[in-house]
Amino acid sequence: MNGDVKALLLLDQRVLLIVSSLGLFVVAGLVLKRSTYKLVNEPSWRKRFRYFNFVGVLAVIFFGFILVAGAIDYWLQR
């Protein structure tokens, strides 16, 4: 049973790293092409998130995924 949990955590870590790295590429593309995209419901977004824009929120989410994957790696290496 213990080996199954470690294998599942290792798979979760790999998936998180792949998703977050691809997501950060998307964020980088959005930052480079900042003037070309427009949100569908931008006034609603601005009302909810005054300090972050859409790209900033995506970047924080993907960096959070990387931190979770790092925590899983730390736990597996102990």
Those residues with Cβ within 8 angstroms of residue 67's Cβ, 6 or more apart along the chain or in another chain? none
Give me the pLDDT at residue 1, please.
Answer: 55
pTM: 0.74
Radius of gyration, CA atoms only, the chain? 17
| Residues of the chain scoring pLDDT < 50 | none
| Interatomic CA distance for residues 46 and 23, integer angstroms | 22
Residue ranges in 1-78 assigned as alpha helix (H): 2-32, 42-48, 54-77
| Interatomic CA distance for residues 32 and 59, integer angstroms | 14
Give me the pLDDT at residue 37, please.
Answer: 63
> Given the structure tokens 């924080």, which residue do they identify?
60
